[in-house]
Structure 1
Amino acid sequence: MQVLEAQTVEEIFSNIQLKKAVKGLKDHNPVMTQRFGADPYALVYNGRVYLYMTGDMPTYDADGKLQENTYGNINIINVISSEDLVNWTDHGTVYAASETGAATWGANSWAPAAAYKNIDGKDRFFLYFANNGNGIAVLSADSPVGPFTDPINGPLISRKTPNCAEVTWLFDPAVLMDDDGSAYIYVGGGVPSIEKAANPGTARVAKLGDDMISLACDPQPIENVPFLFEDSGINKMGDKYYYSYCSNFSMKPEDEEKAGYNQGEIVTLVSESPMGPFEVYKPVLKNPEYFFGRGGNNHHCMFDFKGNWYITYHSRILEEAMDMNGGYRSTNIDVLEVKDGGPSVSKGTRSGVKQLSYLNPYDDVKAVTMANCAGVETRQYGEEAEKYGSGDMIVTGISDGSWISVMGADFGNAKPFELSVKLGGDGTGAIRVSLDSPDGEVLAYVPVEAMNGEVEDVFVSLKCVPEGVHDVYFTFAGTGYEFLSWRFIK
C-alpha cells in the first residue's frame, strides 16, 4: 500500500466537515443510532447483556413522504450486546419471519423475548416473538446471536391453543427462568371492549416444557390485571415474582388518581408464585412522553446486570433528532430503582447509565462496537451472517466527515506504539484517530487504498502515546471502503 504523506492527510481532514450525531457526544441513549429498534428485551449471558429489538423500518410513499409506522412490514429482530452498557456491538438483524425468515409461516416479528438453558450439556438460546397479534413463535440457536432456526415449524402459541382464542392481542411474550430450572412464558394484551378496560382479562401464563419449545401446560389467565394494555414483563427479585405491563389508554382521570399511575405507564404486580395469583404493586416507568415530549406505546424489560438493576424501554428521541415523525422507536437504558426488595419508580433520560467497565483497546475490537456514530451504516459480514441476518458485522456507508466512537478505553501505562486496523472495499481515503472528541488530539492517520474487495490489516505508527482512560474517535475521509476491526499494539 502506498503511504500518504502526513501533511497531505492533515490537509484532507482540515477541509472536511464532521457529520452531526443524532445524540450528544456524552449521551448514552439511545443505545443504538445506526437504525431503529423497539420493544427491547434483555438477556444476560457470560458477562454481556444482549438486547433483542423489534426492527422498526421507516416506510415512504411514492412521493417520498414518510409514512406512519403500522408495524405491518416488520419481520426482523435487531441484536446488539455490551459488557459495559455504553459501548454496544452490532450483531445485525435476525431474519425472523416471512418467506425470507426462519419462521416462514409467520408474517411479522414483534416484541421479542429471549432465554437460554443448558440442555444435554450445551447452552441453547431461544428467541420468542409475536406473529403480529395472533400468536407466538420460537426460534433456537447455539449462540445468542444465532443463526436462529425454527425448531417446530409453526407457532408455539396460537388462537387454537386452549384459553387463547379470546385474547384480544396474543402477543408480547416474556420468559422467566426460575431458580429450579423451570421456565414460564407470559403473553397477551388488549382491551376487548371499553366496559372491560379496568380488567381486560387478556393476560396469560404457561409453564414451558423442558425443551423450551413446547408448553408443559395450557396457558392460564392471569387474574385481576388492572388496566392491562400490552407488554408482558416478568422478574424474580428475592423470593417474589414481579409481573409488569403497560397500562391502557382507556383510563379516565379518576381511574388514574385511584390507581396511582397514568395511562401508558409501566406498572407491576407481585406474587409468591410464577403463575400467580398476583397483587398490585407499584408503577415503575411513566410513558416516554413524560420524559421526552413524544409519546406512544410503552414497552420495557427489567434486568439485573453485574449486581445492579436496569430498565430498558423505547422512546422516539431518535426519530425526533432525525427530523422524522412517524412513530419509529429506539431503545434506551436507565437505572431501575429498587426499594423494599422490589422495583420502584425510575426515570427516562438521554444521558443513560454509567459505564460499568473500561474497554480494552489492546483486544481486537469490532468496528461495529460503538458508543456513538454519525453518517455510517453497518451490514452483515460473511456468508452465515448474510444468510441468517445476524452474526458478524462491518461498518460501511462511510463518507467524508462520518465517524464512530467508543467510550472509556483504558490504555493504562503500557505505552502503545502502533495501531492495527482491518479494512476492506474498493474505495480510498483516510481515517483520523483521535482522543476524547472527533477533533481531539490525533493518535494516528490511517491511509486507505483500494483493497480489491478483500479485508486487509493496515498498521500505522502512533503520533503520540496515549495513557489512562480516553474516548476514541475514528473520523473518515473518502468513501467506498469498509471497517472491520481495530486494536492498539504495545
Structure 2
Amino acid sequence: MNRIVSSLSALILTANCYALSTADRKSPDWDFNNPELGKEWSRLGNTSREDYSLTERGGFLRIKSGGDTLQSSVLSSLVGRPQEHRDFQSSTRFEVSDGATAGMTVYLAASSRYDLCVSDGRIHLRHRVGENSGDKELEAVPTGFIEVKVKGTPEEYKFYYSVDGVKFKEAGCFSASELGGIKPNAYIGLFSEGKGYADFDFFKYREVIPEGSPKLISGNGNPLLDFQFTADPTAVEHEGRLYVYATNDHQQFEEVGRDGKNTYERIKSLVMMSTDDMVNWTYHGNIDVGNVAPWIMASWAPSIVKRKEEDGKTHFYLYFSNSGFGTGVLTATSPVGPWTSPLDKSLVDANTSGLGKCKVPFDPGAVIDPDGTGWLTIGAGNSCIMRLGADMISIDSELKELKAPHHFEANELNYINGTYVYTYNTDWKDRGDWNVGEEVPSICSMSYMTSKTPLDPDSWKYHHHYLKNPGDYGFDYSNNHTHLHKYQGKWYLFYHTMSLHNSFNTDGGFRNVCVDEIDVDEDNLDIPMGDQTLKGPSQIKMLNPFALQQAETTAATKDVRFVSGDTSGNMVATTVGDEALIMVRGVLFSKRPRQYFAKASGKGVIEVRQGGATGNLIATVEVNSSQNKFHKVKLTGVVGNSPCDLCFILKGNDITFDAWQFK
C-alpha cells in the first residue's frame, strides 16, 4: 500500500475535526473579552473568584498572586483548562507586575507540575514531582509582554518562549511519564505567585493532528488553495475565467516557521489563481513584488481592475498595500503577468498632501465605472476616495473623506446598478456610540455604503453589515477582508479565515482565502448577511478531460509542491517527499477515452485513479526523461460517463508534472 493511501485514515480524522470545529461555535474566551470565564475553565487548588478578574483590565485575565511558591502544598492563584488530547499545543501571552512570579504550567497537583514562568525579570523553567523539584534560570527578559507555549506528546512536554511573539526559543522539556503520563485530570494552567499580579492577554489550545488537506476527504471547496496560506482577496474576470489575487501569507509562514507569528512584514509577494467552475483552482504562482518593485516595504491586500486600451491590449492594474505606509500599483497585459512597476514609489503614501484624517493610506479598493473612470479608496481608521488619472497610475482629484462609521481597514469598491458600492471592515471597538441606523454591526464585521457622486462626502449612505467576523461562523477570530464579484450570473463573496491552521500545525495567524455564494439585490442595492462555510459554492460547470488541463489545477492536494514553469503564470507539480496527490473534481467524460497524455519530466510514476486515492486505476505513466514532454499510455481501466473525481498520484522524488489530457 502506498504512503498516500495509508495516510487516508489520518486525513479522515482531520476532516472530522474540521466538521466538529465548525458545528459548534467556538467560545471567544481565548482572548478574555468576556466578563466571565467559559465553562471549559476550572479554578484549581484554593483559587477563588476573587483571585482573578476579567474586568480590571479590559481584554485580559488578571490573576492576583496569593503568596504561593513552588513548594506550596496548595495553590491559590491558578486557573486552567483540561488537557484533552495526547498531542496538543497551548500558548499564552502575559505581563508580570513587580513582585509576582507568573506563567504557564502543566499541572496535576501542587506537587506534580511543570512550569515556564517569569520572575524578577528572568525566565525560569521549573518542575516539582513529589519531593523532587528544580528551578532553572534561563535568561533576562525585557519588561513587558512575553509569550510562552507548551507542546505535549505522550512522551514529553516541551516549553518555548518568545519576547517578540515571532521568534521562539526552546526552554526545555520534561518527561510525560515522570508527571504521571497523559491523564484526563492534567491541566494546562495560568498562575501567579508571590506578590502583585499577572495580566494574561490570551490562551490558545489546540490538538496537534496529522498534517493534511481538510478538503481531500471531506469534499469541501474551502479554502481555495489547501497548500498555501493566502489572504485579502480581490478578483477580475478575463476571457471567461475568474482570476483571484491575494496576500501571500505563506511567505511569512516560510520565513518564521510554524511556531512563528503572522506579523506580515516578511510578505513581499502576491498570489495568483483562477477558475472557470468555482471548485477547481489553477495556481498561477506568486508575483514577486519585492523584485518587480524593489522600493516597497511589504505587499498586502491587492485590488485589481482591467480595461482595453488604444493599443488593442487589455491592461491590468493591480493596486496593493505598501505595508501600512502607502499604496502601490503594478501593471501587466495578461492576468498572470509578467508584471511591471510603472512608478518608482507608491502611488499614494503618508507624505501625499490632502490625506486629512486618512493617516494610514493602505488597503486599496479600486473600480472602473462604465465611463472608463478609475476610482481608488484607501485608509485605516479613517478612509478616503479619489479619482484616478486617465493613465490609472496618477491621482486626478482631491482626496475626499469617506465618513465610514467605526472604520478599520479592508477597503473595496464595486459599481452596481449605476451606483458606487464601498465595502469596509469595521473595528473591534465597543459600539456604545453607534448612531447610524437601528442595526449595530458586530465586532470586526464587513459593512457597506453607497453613492452616485463619490467625491461628495455627504452623498455616501451607510446601509448595514453583510458579513460577520470568521469567529462568529465557528472559525477562529481574525481580521476581515472581502471582495464581492459577479461571475457567470451569480454573486460570490471572497473572504479569508484561518481554517488551514491545523493542516500546518500552527496557530500563528496565517490566513486562507475562501468563497461562498451571496444573494445581492442589485435593484435595491441590498447585500444581505453572507455566510462562511467549509463547503463553499457548487460547481458551475464540469471539468472537460479532453481539453488540455494544467497539473496546477486542483480541488485538493497532499504533499505536493509547485514550482515555476517556462512561462509567466505556469507552474509544474512535484513531490514534497517521494509521493504526492492532486485531485480535481466534477470531471465529466462525454465519450469513452482511449489514451491518456501526461506532460512530465524526471523519473517516477504517475497513477491516475477515478473516484479517489484508492479508486479505480485507469492509467499508469512511467516517466524517465530529462525533457518536459508528453507521455502517452493506453487506459487500463474503464471510465464511466457520470461526473467523478480524478486523482493523480505522483511517485518519485525527481518527477515533475506539467499538464494532462485524455483522448
Fold conserved between structures, TM > 0.5:
yes
Gapped regions of structure 1 (runs ≥ 5): 1-10, 191-201, 386-390
SS at match of 2:500: helix
Instruction: Verify the 8 A CA contact 2:601 2:623 in the aligned structure 1.
Output: no
For the residues of structure 2 that align with 1:88 and 1:487, how far apart are their CA atoms?
A: 17
- Cα displacement string for residues 365-409 of structure 1 (whole angstroms, at most 9, x for unaligned residues): 010011111110111112x54xxxxx2111123544420011111
Counterpart for residue 226 of structure 2: 33
Moved more, 151-160 or 84-93: 151-160
For the residues of structure 2 that align with 1:84 and 1:381, how far apart are their CA atoms?
A: 24
Give the one of 304, 314, 323 matched to 2:505.
323
Instruction: Verify the 8 A CA contact 1:237 1:342 in the aligned structure 2.
Output: no
Give the one of 380, 396, 399 matched to 2:564.
380
Matched, 1:475 2:655: no
SS at match of 1:317: coil
For the residues of structure 2 that align with 1:395 and 1:30, how far apart are their CA atoms?
A: 19
Instruction: Verify the 8 A CA contact 1:17 1:400 in the aligned structure 2.
Output: no
For the residues of structure 2 that align with 1:239 and 1:150, how far apart are their CA atoms?
A: 32
Counterpart for residue 272 of structure 1: 452
Cα separation, partners in 2 of 1:282 and 1:16, compared to 1, 3 Å: same
For the residues of structure 1 that align with 2:583 and 2:423, how far apart are their CA atoms?
A: 35
Counterpart for residue 105 of structure 1: 295
Instruction: Verify the 8 A CA contact 1:315 1:331 in the aligned structure 2.
Output: yes
Counterpart for residue 204 of structure 1: 384
Q: CA deviation at 1:260?
A: 2.2
For the residues of structure 2 that align with 1:262 and 1:83, how far apart are their CA atoms?
A: 34
Q: CA deviation at 1:323?
A: 2.0
Q: What TM-score do the two structures reach when normalised by structure 2?
A: 0.65
Instruction: Verify the 8 A CA contact 1:12 1:477 in the aligned structure 2.
Output: no
Instruction: Verify the 8 A CA contact 2:258 2:506 in the aligned structure 1.
Output: no
- Cα displacement string for residues 180-221 of structure 1 (whole angstroms, at most 9, x for unaligned residues): 11110111112xxxxxxxxxxx21111111111111113211
Residue 55 of structure 1 aligns with an amino acid whose one-letter code is: N
Q: CA deviation at 1:169?
A: 2.0
Question: What is the number of equivalent residue pairs in this alignment?
Answer: 452
For the residues of structure 2 that align with 1:17 and 1:60, how far apart are their CA atoms?
A: 24
Q: Which has the higher contact order (CA 8 A, sep 6+)?
A: 1
Give the one of 530, 551, 556 matched to 1:346.
530
Matched, 1:411 2:584: no
Give the one of 371, 377, 400 matched to 1:180.
371
Cα separation, partners in 2 of 1:399 and 1:462, compared to 1, 3 Å: farther
RMSD: 2.1
Residue 315 of structure 1 aligns with an amino acid whose one-letter code is: T
Alignment of 1:36-115 (within 5 A): 36-56=229-249, 57-59=251-253, 66-97=259-290, 101-115=291-305
Give the one of 253, 261, 267 matched to 2:441.
261
Cα separation, partners in 2 of 1:254 and 1:212, compared to 1, 3 Å: closer
Instruction: Verify the 8 A CA contact 2:5 2:613 in the aligned structure 1.
Output: no
Give the one of 341, 359, 374 matched to 1:150.
341
Cα separation, partners in 2 of 1:456 and 1:72, compared to 1, 3 Å: same
For the residues of structure 1 that align with 2:576 and 2:283, how far apart are their CA atoms?
A: 16
Counterpart for residue 44 of structure 2: none
Matched, 1:437 2:612: yes
Moved more, 275-284 or 104-113: 275-284
**Fraction of identical pairs, as percent:** 29
Residue 646 of structure 2 aligns with an amino acid whose one-letter code is: V
For the residues of structure 1 that align with 2:415 and 2:229, how far apart are their CA atoms?
A: 29
Counterpart for residue 370 of structure 1: 554
For the residues of structure 2 that align with 1:355 and 1:320, how far apart are their CA atoms?
A: 26
Q: CA deviation at 1:16?
A: 5.5
Cα separation, partners in 2 of 1:34 and 1:127, compared to 1, 3 Å: same
Cα separation, partners in 2 of 1:321 and 1:60, compared to 1, 3 Å: closer
For the residues of structure 2 that align with 1:16 and 1:283, how far apart are their CA atoms?
A: 46
SS at match of 2:471: helix
Gapped regions of structure 2 (runs ≥ 5): 12-211
Counterpart for residue 394 of structure 2: 214
Counterpart for residue 405 of structure 2: 226
Give the one of 622, 636, 641 matched to 1:463.
636
Counterpart for residue 126 of structure 1: 317
Matched, 1:235 2:408: no
Counterpart for residue 116 of structure 1: 306
Cα separation, partners in 2 of 1:406 and 1:207, compared to 1, 3 Å: same
Q: What TM-score do the two structures reach when normalised by structure 1?
A: 0.87
SS at match of 2:501: helix
Instruction: Verify the 8 A CA contact 1:398 1:476 in the aligned structure 2.
Output: no
For the residues of structure 1 that align with 2:224 and 2:438, how far apart are their CA atoms?
A: 35
Instruction: Verify the 8 A CA contact 2:545 2:588 in the aligned structure 1.
Output: yes
Instruction: Verify the 8 A CA contact 1:16 1:400 in the aligned structure 2.
Output: no
For the residues of structure 2 that align with 1:421 and 1:456, how far apart are their CA atoms?
A: 8
Moved more, 340-349 or 396-405: 396-405
Q: CA deviation at 1:464?
A: 2.7
Cα separation, partners in 2 of 1:15 and 1:27, compared to 1, 3 Å: closer
Cα separation, partners in 2 of 1:323 and 1:363, compared to 1, 3 Å: same
Instruction: Verify the 8 A CA contact 2:320 2:363 in the aligned structure 1.
Output: yes
For the residues of structure 2 that align with 1:61 and 1:443, how far apart are their CA atoms?
A: 40
Instruction: Verify the 8 A CA contact 2:385 2:399 in the aligned structure 1.
Output: yes
For the residues of structure 2 that align with 1:320 and 1:163, how far apart are their CA atoms?
A: 45
SS at match of 1:321: helix
SS at match of 2:502: helix
Q: CA deviation at 1:431?
A: 2.0
Counterpart for residue 135 of structure 1: 326
- Cα displacement string for residues 39-60 of structure 1 (whole angstroms, at most 9, x for unaligned residues): 0111112111111101112447
Cα separation, partners in 2 of 1:398 and 1:150, compared to 1, 3 Å: same
Cα separation, partners in 2 of 1:400 and 1:104, compared to 1, 3 Å: closer
Moved more, 26-35 or 465-474: 465-474
Give the one of 360, 366, 378 matched to 2:544.
360
- Cα displacement string for residues 86-135 of structure 1 (whole angstroms, at most 9, x for unaligned residues): 111111100113xxx21111111010111111111221111110111111
